[in-house]
Structure 1
Amino acid sequence: MISAHPNEIVFLSGGTEANNMVLNMFKCQQKLQNGYGAGDEVVKLPHIITSSIEHVSITKPLEKLRDDGLVEVTFVDVDKTTHAIRVEDVLQAIQPQTTLISLMLANNETGVLQPVKELSEKLRPYQHSNRKIYLHTDACQAIGKIPVSVKDLSVDYLTIAGHKFYGPRIGALYVRGLGHCNGAPLQPMILGGGQENGYRAGTENVAMIVGLGKASELVSSNIHSYQSQLLSVRDYLEDSLQQKFGSLIHFNAKSSDSTRLPNTCNFSLVGKRFLGRAILQHCKVIIAGVGAACHSNAIVASPILLNSGIPSDIAVNAIRLSVGIKTSFADIDVAVEDIWNAYQAIAHPKSHSQSTEQ
């Protein structure tokens, strides 16, 4: 599915574990006191670069490692027009002790694609025989929606989550040249038995691994038809919402300068009363999120949207919809009507209650 060699795959519990495994490998192995080593010589901590719109399974581990004095971290802001990271900004953030750059392939809330391939190409002049900057991408959101190839991306690590492409809730980590002297390094985070060639202890969940393999097979055989189907239905969804709501709707992170996944639609209804959560509470049919799927209980505006340049009064009203490979145009019609009725219930509560009683 991702053009990797079987020996370069380690099976894990999910994308969160895979991300944590990569990040923890690049921390300083000795806790330092006040940033100093022997004598008065300043010890430079490993430096990791990431973006300000990463999934929390990247940002939270990095913040913890930073607060524990084990790494230095730079969170690079995204361009507020393209809603994607600028490769030049990442390159400018590189320091002599930079060891890892982690950049998601596609954002999980906006669907905006990030320039991972371009970054890997621009990193080549920075690589030397005595110094290597490794590149990791969290590809969980992109796999199953667009073609993903580690050869094309030229990354050292790539995170996979099965449930994002109709597989079971299990994950995997791609590690370039795993086990070879010139391959990317990997250190176990969970110790015990020798499973997964000693990289991930614990008896493997064979049934879920087989399920992940089958889902990967289906993606490999059908990715272009999946991509076309998702795009046509998502575009129909956005066109239908636009026709229904007109100037009342704002599509977040959608512009002629941004490239998005074919399945993701993030929008807001303009107005103080139309919080994303309020709209969803009045919906009778659809189930959706106001931010990332794993923490949709937040009432405040999504930090991802704010960091992507969406104004706070718009971001707090956001609703994220995703279409699937079996979503039909008829499903979209039902969903749009449901959102319209929810809007009417908030905008005109008295007349809506009277029509409901009748």
Structure 2
Amino acid sequence: VYFDNHATTAVDPRVLAVMLPTFSETYGNPESGHPFGWSARLLVEQARAQVAILVGATDPSKEIVFTAGATESIHLAISSQTASLTAHQTLGTVRPHIITANTEHHATLEACAAAERAGADLTILQADKDGLITPEQVIAAVKPNTTLVTLMHANNEIGTIHPIAKIGKALRAHGKAHQQEILFHVDAAQTAGKHEINVDDMSIDLLSLSAHKFHGPKGVGALYVRHTGKRFVRITPLFTGGGQERGLRSGTLNVSGIVGLGHASELAADEHYADRARLTGLRNLIITEVESKLKDVKLNGHRTERLCNNINFTFKGVEQDQLMFALKDFAYSAASACVGPTQSHVLAAIGAASQSPTDATIRIGLSRLTKAEEVSS
């Protein structure tokens, strides 16, 4: 039974069905000036519109940039801001200040560390025992030179959902009061396709997502870049070449992957309310059953402000090898699949990392394709 859907999800059969023709029929390069290229270009732009609808963007052609996944999107969002700003330090400008949190994905933490090495000022906020960051914490950390706040919508290990809309609103209000533009980047890799996202309602300027986290193909993602109203976010490409994606992401477009991302986005936009209700019920069933039958078990992360498909338990007095053997018929994660066997920095950050070899932690991730009978087993 597959319970590792935070690491990756199976491609929805409906997504695969729309991808297959791109390998044998509409396989042209979307930059080519002939019917094969035009057909591919139409598919790319259709997918761009589908992703825009999923996140509430209003101008797909200017605001949705296709990438290889959330990690690239995150680096593009963070490094482009610092690159353009730190390049002018010799002219006497103050160095930019970035705010993030200690429970972020390694992609964000590493991108912020690189920005700090390049000369940026970095503040890393301490999440509380449930993994939450509050608007008050963020605003208290803002300095006159703050240019970027980057936070995940929901944690990939413990499932805690940050109050992103409240944080975004607080940042906009602070910026207006102090005549300061602070960009807000959100890593939505775990929430896109499962929880409601609207970049306008949440005051988001940059948003990263990855197709394979919500039943699309691996190796493709997107970055939302605000380009409406008075806020036009400038992006500096990570690399240059043929100038695809308006010069922001050079390289021949992965049409098959983009089509898959687009259709996965459309399905999620149509079905995520029903999916979330069903998954929340299954999640709560597992939590209730485990806590009612076992004494020395701790639920990590916030109990209610939590991903609809996430369960993270620490079992006291149970070695990891013993637990893996007992659950050998289930595919789950002992930690984030992105960091391998090393100790979870997220659990350490919230004070839940055990120093005892006889304590085991598991992460269970459900999905649209998870069956009720699999949970009851």
Q: What residue is the counterpart of 2:354 in the other structure? A: 312
Matched, 1:2 2:45: no
Unaligned runs of 5+ in 2: 1-53
Matched, 1:280 2:332: no
**Aligned-residue offset at 1:276:** 3.6
**Aligned-residue offset at 1:28:** 5.0
1:39-83 CA distances to partner (integer Å, 9 max, x unpaired)?
A: xx7x632110001110000001211221x2421110001122x42
Distance in 2 between residues matched to 1:185 and 1:146, nearest whole Å: 27
Q: What residue is the counterpart of 1:118 in the other structure? A: 166
1:119-158 CA distances to partner (integer Å, 9 max, x unpaired)?
A: 1111123325963100000011011221111122110001
**Aligned-residue offset at 1:333:** 3.1
Equivalent of 2:190 in 141, 153, 156: 141
Distance in 1 between residues matched to 2:199 and 2:356, nearest whole Å: 36
Q: What residue is the counterpart of 1:293 in the other structure? A: 337
Which amino acid in 2 is paired with 1:24? S
Distance in 2 between residues matched to 1:17 and 1:115, nearest whole Å: 24
Larger Rg: 1
**Aligned-residue offset at 1:328:** 2.3
1:224-247 CA distances to partner (integer Å, 9 max, x unpaired)?
A: 1110111111111112222332x1
**Aligned-residue offset at 1:186:** 1.3
Q: Structure 2 length as normaliser, TM-score?
A: 0.79
Equivalent of 1:102 in 122, 137, 150: 150
1:290-326 CA distances to partner (integer Å, 9 max, x unpaired)?
A: 221212322x3x1101212325348962110011112
Counterpart contact for 1:167–1:211, Cα < 8 Å? yes
Which amino acid in 1 is paired with 2:224? Y
**Aligned-residue offset at 1:110:** 0.8
Distance in 1 between residues matched to 2:86 and 2:236, nearest whole Å: 18
Counterpart contact for 1:135–1:157, Cα < 8 Å? yes
Percent identity over paired residues: 32
Equivalent of 1:230 in 279, 303, 317: 279
Relative to structure 1, the CA distance from residue 204 to residue 311 in structure 2 (aligned partners, 3 Å threshold; closer, same or farther) is: closer
Q: What residue is the counterpart of 2:25 in the other structure? A: none
Q: What residue is the counterpart of 1:269 in the other structure? A: 315
Distance in 1 between residues matched to 2:106 and 2:156, nearest whole Å: 11
Counterpart contact for 1:280–1:288, Cα < 8 Å? no
Distance in 2 between residues matched to 1:307 and 1:136, nearest whole Å: 21
Partner-residue secondary structure (3-state), 1:235: helix
Counterpart contact for 2:84–2:236, Cα < 8 Å? no
Distance in 2 between residues matched to 1:236 and 1:262, nearest whole Å: 12
Alignment of 1:341-352 (within 5 A): none
Q: What residue is the counterpart of 2:29 in the other structure? A: none
**Aligned-residue offset at 1:26:** 2.1
Two-structure CA RMSD over aligned residues (Å): 2.4
Higher relative contact order structure (alpha carbons within 8 Å, sequence separation ≥ 6): 2
Q: What residue is the counterpart of 1:350 in the other structure? A: none
Unaligned runs of 5+ in 1: 335-358
Q: What residue is the counterpart of 1:25 in the other structure? A: 80
Which amino acid in 2 is paired with 1:251? L
Distance in 2 between residues matched to 1:220 and 1:192, nearest whole Å: 33
**Aligned-residue offset at 1:280:** 1.9
Q: What residue is the counterpart of 1:200 in the other structure? A: 249
